[in-house]
Every structure is written in C-alpha cells, then in structure tokens.
Structure 1
C-alpha cells in the first residue's frame, strides 16, 4: 500500500487508509484532511505532484480545486453579512446600481448565492482569455437579462457565481474577492488557500492531470440531464490546459480558480461547522453561520439536470453542506458534528466515463472516526 505522510488522531486512522487505497488505485497525488471543533484530527498526503510520478506531493503542495473554490466565495459573503455590511435579503442593486438593467431590479443577494438569479451563462464570451477581464465580464452580467424569474428556479452558476458575488464584495469593500479572502479569511486563519495565485507559489503547484484516455484538451461541461443530453454550452470552453496555465493562476475567476490542499480547504470551511471559529480565530457569530445550511431552494436544477438543495452559497446534502470541483476535489461540513472533511487531488476523473466516489470515500472514513 502506498505510504502517506502527515498525522492522524488514532480514531481517524481510516482516513489515512482510505487515502492510501486511492493512491494505490486511481490517484497520482492527493491530500485529505478532517477538522473537528475547528482543530485538525487528520491531515495526510501522498503520491506525486506530476503525471510522470517524479516529484513527490509534499505537505505544502497546492493544486487547483476548481469549483471547490465556491465554498470560499460564499464564506466571504457570509463574513460581510455577519458584520452588517451586506444584507442577504437586499437587492443586488443596493450595492451595484448598474445591475438593475434588463429587468434585474428584484434579484436579491441570496438569489445570487443560491444559484437562483437566472444568470448561469456568459453567452458573450467565446475565449477563456476574455474571463481575465473583470470589468468587461461584470459589465456584461449587469447588462444581461435573467433566463427565468429570479428566485423561482435554480440553475448552477458555474462561472458567473464568482463574478456576481465578487463584484458585490468589490463594491462594498473596494477589494477584489481574492484580496478580501486573503486579508479577512486566509490571513487570520493562517490558511494556505489562494483565489488566484501569485508568482512566488508557482513552484508548489501540482498541475491537474486529465482523466485517463483524455488529453489536456479535455473541457468542463455540465453533467448530462435526465435524458442523457448535455445542456448547450453558451460560453468559452475551459480545458485542462487553460486551468494549468500561468494566465489562469494570475486571474480573478473566483468561482473556479482557487489553489490549496485538503488542509487549507478543511481549515477554512471548518469555521462554518464550528459555530464561526477555527484554531482559536473567530470569523463569524453562530447566527452568521446559519445561512450556510438553511435551504433557499429545493428542486430540479436546470443546469445540473438533477434535484438539488441550495443554501446561501452551498449545496445541502441532508444535515451536511459543501461543494466539490471539476475533476474530483470536495469539501463537506457537518455542523451537528462540528466536522469538516476535505479531499484534494491532481488526477481528474471524467464522470461521464467513470464513477468518482473518491471524495465520499474520505468523508465516510471520517465518519467512522466519529463513531
């Protein structure tokens, strides 16, 4: 069995074993972490940072976690709401007046955070490079008409989520989402997670590896709907080679271009599972955490083609909440148990061709430790 490094409380030895089993099977390099009561009880990693298996995955290896980043974006909004600087029930136009165009006067902040705003697409953008122009993208969203009456339906806002929430944060604070996160969340917690990545961290990045039988041209798409067909893509196709590019790292695409490892993902999100604090640092009141697990919408998601429960910023699964990223990364929080579990890897799996239960195997191993 592949050796993994790091530490585990004896109760959570199954997490180490689960990660080692994944490294023996599908994974090249990966990390897993569990926080309970805001403290680490498992923090393990192993394998390799490159497809050639020549560079070891180290304690401080980072990789792109794609949509797992949305959990961080949502937390930033909840921090501002808890401070009284953002009203989740206010219209977006209270912070971003230009957003009122094309019949969006009644889009609320909570609609944006729960994927019910009716703005799941960026139809005017045809190249990935256009995503790097923040003001152009947000101006396009401000001018766009919603696809449905906001609040009445949900459709996963794969890319627009980060631009919409990020622009609200920028209008309130004068800082980009990445800057706000670094200064108000990651900094106080000492979390090695970054939304957009600066040059000094490049040497620590494990590039994402395309799924077996795929190349770096492999592109993200919504899952197939109940009839087996995919929703039509109306924007730029994002490929593995784009996500691995230097330009992508330097950009602000807050829905999808976060960099971290399981330790940093679990540390940040454990704030919400542990009544607003982690490692002795308080970011939120208990009441400020509650929107993370309070359901805003339940029903069929028009983009994902599956029944979903959306809260203010997160997907809800029973008594837990969180979200994962394209290729396989995942974070799940359980406020009842005050536990957060994260899994981050570099080997992607194409769910159209192969079932991917890796993250859930780590989650279930963590629950065995609670018992």
Structure 2
C-alpha cells in the first residue's frame, strides 16, 4: 500500500485509505483534506510530484487545480456583494460600461457566475498567449455579441468566466482578481492558494501529468461533445505547465494550491462566512452561493446541470471540479469542506476520484455525528 503522510482523525480513516487506493492504482501524487468547523480532520498527501517518481510529494507541494479556481473567483464576488459594493442582480455594464456593446446591456452579474451570459468562448481563434493579455482578452469579450439570450440557457464558460467576473472585480476595486484574492481572502486566512503564482513558489509545483497514452499536447473535451470546454482556446497540458501560465491571472483556471488550502478557503462557505475567527462574509452572504440560477442541460457540457452563484449545485452540497481531477465539495449542513488535488490527470469521462474521496469523507462524518 502507498505510504500516506500527514494526519487525520481516526473517524475519517477511510479518506487516507481512499488516497492510498488511488496511488496504488497508478496515480502519481495527490493531497486530500477534510475540514469540519473550519479545522482539519484530514490533512494528508502521498506519492510523487514527477513522472519518474523520484521526488516525494511534500506537505507544502502545490499543483494547478484548473477549474476549482472558479470557486475562489466566485468567493471574491460574493465578498464584494456582501459588502454592498457589488449587486449580483445589476447589469454588468453598471461596473464595466464598455460591456454593454453588441446587445449585452441586459447581461446581469449573476449571469456571469451561472454560465448563462452567452459568452462561453471568444470569437475567433484564441491561443494560450492571448489569455496572458488581460486588457485584450477582456476587451474582446466586451465587444462581442452573446451566443444566446443571456439568462435563458447555460453553456460552461470554461475560461471566459474568470475574465468576466475578474474584470467586474477590477472595475470595482482597482485590483486584479489575483491581487484581490490574496489581500482579502488568502492573506487573512493564511491559505497557501495563488491566482498568479510568483517565481518563489515554482520549486513547490507538481506539474500536471497527462492521462496514460496522452502527451502534453492533450486538450480536454467535454463529455458527449467533440469541442473542448476551452472551445476556441485549445488549452493543452503543456500550456498549464508553463511558467507563463503560472504567472498569469486566469481566474477560471490558473489557481495553484493544495487540498489543505482549498478546503480552508472554502470552509468560509461551509461555516457561514467565518473561519478561525476571520469573518469574510455574513451568513446570508455565504448562503447566496447556493441560490439556484439555472437548472437544465448545459449546452457545452452536454449534461444536466444546476448552477448557483459561481458554484455547481449537487443535492444539498455544492462545489466544483477541475480538468485533471481536482475537486472541492462543500456541505453546509455539516459545516464540512472536502478537497482533493492530484497531479495525475485522467480522461474526464472516466475520472471519479474526487467523488470517491468525498464519499470516504461522508463515512467519517457518520461517525462524527454518532
């Protein structure tokens, strides 16, 4: 059995067991965390950070979490809304006047958070390098017309959501999304999560490893669809492993952290806005995350979805997963947050690792409640 490092409450022993099983099944490395009432009941890691399996995964190893970053961006918007600086039901153009072009004057901020704005990708070819130019990427979105009547349908805004929400945050605060997150969320909590990673952290990064039989030119595709969720952008594993990607602020996909930091930040949502004496949101402000904004077939993902304010809704829980398997799940009734951050990718339609970790956490929760 794979050797697991870290600590855990005996009631939650199924969680490190699940991680060991995944590593034994061929995964390279990962970290897992479960927080209840804002405190870790599981904080474990194991495996390696490199494909040759020579560099052990350490306590402070971080990895790209891809679309789990969206939950961090959503939290920033909810913080501003709770402070009264952002009206989630207001037109985006109230904060970003140029955005009203091409018939988008009726697009509301909540449409951005719920993937219903009709801007799931950019018009025309888009490369990874285009994403590193914030002014250009946002100006293109402001100029183009929506692909459907905003608010009437959903289509996963795989990369564009972060630029759309991030530009609203920038217009209000004068700070980029990464800077705002660092100052107002990660900093106060002491969370090791970054949107725009500085060079001092490069040595801690476990690069993404493509699925078996794939190489670094691998591009994800949505379940049931031939077009990737990154649509015109065609982001490859090698792009996500580049220094340029780490330095850029791509608030829908370029976050770096580990399971501990992801679970700590999202414990804010699980615990009604306050964790370890740090209050980021009111109870009502945190509850806005699971206000249903859309229920039905997602045009891009090709499957039924429920979206809240920046989070996917799944029964009584909410959260999201990223390309490559990173997952965060929030259970507000139990004040629990569960996170899984691997470096080994699997084919999207065949990746249930995050779910396995979450179900193992529920086993521990039963014991805690007994």
The interval holding the TM-score normalised by the smaller chain is over 0.9
2:362 corresponds to which residue?
A: 367
2:2 corresponds to which residue?
A: 2
RMSD: 1.2
Task: Name the SS of the counterpart of 1:292 in structure 2.
Answer: helix
1:204 aligned to 2:207?
Answer: no
1:279 aligned to 2:279?
Answer: no
1:148 corresponds to which residue?
A: 148
2:17 corresponds to which residue?
A: 17
1:37 corresponds to which residue?
A: 37
Counterpart mapping for 1:83-102 below 5 A: 83-102=83-102
> Partners in 2 of 1:356 and 1:222 — Cα distance?
13
Deviation sequence 1:109-143 (CA, Å, 0-9, x none): 00000000010011234321111100001000000
1:338 aligned to 2:335?
Answer: yes
* Post-superposition offset of 1:234: 4.7
> Partners in 1 of 2:253 and 2:115 — Cα distance?
15
> Partners in 1 of 2:15 and 2:68 — Cα distance?
20
Task: Name the SS of the counterpart of 1:72 in structure 2.
Answer: helix
2:302 corresponds to which residue?
A: 305
Task: Name the SS of the counterpart of 1:208 in structure 2.
Answer: coil
Contact map agreement 1:96 1:168 (CA 8 A) in 2? yes
> Partners in 2 of 1:90 and 1:311 — Cα distance?
16
* Post-superposition offset of 1:95: 0.3
TM-score, normalization by structure 1: 0.97
Counterpart mapping for 1:139-218 below 5 A: 139-218=139-218
Number of residues paired by the alignment? 366
* Post-superposition offset of 1:172: 0.3
1:71 corresponds to which residue?
A: 71
* Post-superposition offset of 1:223: 2.3
* Post-superposition offset of 1:356: 1.3
> Partners in 2 of 1:296 and 1:55 — Cα distance?
44
Deviation sequence 1:76-122 (CA, Å, 0-9, x none): 00000000000000000110000000000010000000000010011
2:317 corresponds to which residue?
A: 320
* Post-superposition offset of 1:350: 1.1
1:265 corresponds to which residue?
A: 262
Contact map agreement 2:323 2:348 (CA 8 A) in 1? no
> Partners in 1 of 2:341 and 2:278 — Cα distance?
24
Contact map agreement 1:224 1:230 (CA 8 A) in 2? no
> Partners in 2 of 1:243 and 1:125 — Cα distance?
18
- Report the CA distance shift for 1:234/1:204 in structure 2 as closer, same or farther (over 3 A): closer
> Partners in 2 of 1:233 and 1:169 — Cα distance?
22
Deviation sequence 1:15-45 (CA, Å, 0-9, x none): 1111111111131010000011111111000
Could you tell me which runs of 5 or more consecutive residues in structure 2 were left unpaired when the two chains were aligned.
none
Counterpart mapping for 1:280-295 below 5 A: 280-295=277-292
Deviation sequence 1:40-93 (CA, Å, 0-9, x none): 111000100111000010000011010010000000000000000000000001
1:136 corresponds to which residue?
A: 136
* Post-superposition offset of 1:277: 1.3
* Post-superposition offset of 1:196: 1.5
Task: Name the SS of the counterpart of 1:126 in structure 2.
Answer: coil
* Post-superposition offset of 1:13: 1.0
TM-score, normalization by structure 2: 0.97
Contact map agreement 2:28 2:47 (CA 8 A) in 1? yes
* Post-superposition offset of 1:280: 2.1
Task: Name the SS of the counterpart of 1:235 in structure 2.
Answer: helix
Contact map agreement 2:115 2:155 (CA 8 A) in 1? yes
Contact map agreement 2:245 2:254 (CA 8 A) in 1? yes
